[in-house]
Amino acid sequence: MNERTVLTGARVVLPSGVAEDGRLTVEGTRIAEGVPHEAPTMDLTGHLIVPGFVDMHVHGGGGASFQAGGAEEAMTAIGAHRARGTTTMVASMVTGDLDDLARQAALLSELTEQGELAGVHFEGPFISPHRCGAHQPELLRDPHPADVRKLLDAARGAARMMTLAPELPGGLDSVRLLAEHGVVAAVGHTDSTYEATLQAVEAGATVATHLFNAMPSLLHRAPGPVTALLEDERVTVELINDGTHLHPAVLQLAFARAGADRVAFITDAMAAAGMSDGMYTLGPMGVEVTDGVARIADGPTAGSIAGSTLTLDVAFKRAVTVDRLPVEDAVRALSANPARLLGVDDRVGSLEPGKDADLLVFDGSYDLVGVMRRGAWLVRPEVG
């Protein structure tokens, strides 16, 4: 018989809102209905319980990268983010040699099959040379459908998202191909116009990769991709809430225009997440981290911001303390929305009976003190 535990006394963020002095029953690996008699209890008075976070765009952490090494290195990155509240994540890869990306995707697909990852995200190489950011310009290529299909085939069903610049030759055909195969087509690292971006959405694009970053700015006579992606109800916008990638006022603007149901907070984290300053790698590139900000160390893109060192527990605390977002809205952007985009919301993304017992416990200062994944404490709250 599955062991039952009842968590009591905490504020609990449910799909219906925040339950004060809530109770949550965990039975085995799942959330159960009701409060059984004689079940062990954990008093979490003064705490907040939220669903485990879902990161649909993360490159590494804990000194490890999803694009280098084998399964052991990938598990190091997974473990680093799980300890900081990300109980479900997609492994992202930056631009690289097509064959190298295919080989790594095959490895990551095995971890997806084992339930360690929710899939693979290809961020490049099908992006604009004018907005490549930290990606290596010489490895970029147009998104010809045959090349896109090669990466999808290599991922063996684990491909969940691909970021591309739809204005490039083959871009719209590739968006259609991705949509036909149930893979999220994301507009990003693009020099697209407003009109061309709308065409991409009509073709099936449903995500804006780190909105505002690596795309033309919003101008009064050239609204660009930002406006097109914000205004279309079919698009979910990624935001990196680390205080470096976006000014708080810009984040508020995105939330106000898109609404809480169309925002997904991501980390875009690289290997240095959860680590100290120093030298790291992002794909084939060397990265120097100073004061927690990662930048390309040398080459033609030297000085470009190279992902982040963010973890989602920090993004959550910033959202509710600095950005003053309602807790429910912040949680939606960190759990339910990305889970829905990835097609895993039948198992994760909210605290509902029958779903995986993935939950986080925060103290009164919004610091993470407990992490449960599938009914097991990875970080156990220290309570009396």
Cα–Cα distance between 295 and 169 in angstroms, integer? 30
Are 128 and 177 found together in one domain? yes
Number of domains present in the structure of the chain: 2
- pTM over 0.85? The answer is yes
Looking at the domain assignment, is residue 17 inside a domain? yes
Mean pLDDT of the chain: 95
User: What is the Cβ-side half-sphere exposure of residue 347, based on CA atoms within 13 angstroms?
Assistant: 13
Cα–Cα distance measured from residue 205 to residue 324, given in angstroms and rounded to the nearest whole number:
30
User: Which of 263, 281, 261 is CA-nearest to residue 272?
Assistant: 281
Domain shared by 361 and 217, yes or no: no
Do 102 and 243 belong together in one domain? yes
In the chain, % of residues over pLDDT 70 = 99
- Please state, for a pLDDT cut of 90, what percent of the chain lies above it: 89
Q: Are 22 and 49 in contact (CB under 8 A)?
A: yes
287: CATH: 3.20.20.140
Mean pLDDT throughout 259-283?
Answer: 94
Question: Which residues does residue 183 pair with via DSSP β-bridges, in sequence order?
Answer: none
Assess whether 23 and 132 both reside in one domain: no
Question: What's the average model confidence in pLDDT over 246-251?
Answer: 95
> For residue 292, which of 312, 304, 278, 313 has the smallest C-alpha distance?
278
On whether residue 253 sits in a domain, the answer given is: yes
| Residue 256: domain span | 53-342
pLDDT at 174 over 70: yes
Which pLDDT does position 384 carry in this prediction? 63
CA 193, 196, 202, 203 torsion: positive or negative?
A: negative
H or E stretch at 198: helix 194-203
Whether residues 17 and 161 fall in one domain = no
Indicate if 35 and 127 belong to the same structural domain. Answer: no
In a domain, 19, yes or no: yes
The CATH number linked to 353 is 2.30.40.10
Q: With a cut of 60, say whether residue 150 has pLDDT above it.
A: yes
> Within this chain, do residues 79 and 104 fall inside the same structural domain, yes or no?
yes
The residues, any chain, with a CB within 8 Å of residue 383's CB and separated by 6 or more, are 42, 43, 44, 47
Q: What is the pLDDT of residues 81-98, one digit of tens each?
A: 999 999 999 999 999 999
Is the residue at 292 inside a domain?
A: yes
**DSSP 3-state of 40:** coil
Tell whether 188 and 282 lie within a shared domain. yes
Give the helix/strand (H/E) hosting 65.
Answer: strand 64-65
Residues 187-206: what's their mean pLDDT?
A: 98
Residues 43-80 have pLDDT tens digits of 999 999 999 999 999 999 999 999 988 999 999 999 99
Flag whether 384 is in a domain: no
In a shared domain, residues 357 and 295: no
Contacts of 125 (CB under 8 A, 6+ apart): 95, 96, 98, 101, 135, 139, 140, 141
Measured between alpha carbons, how far is 331 from 325 in angstroms, rounded to an integer?
10
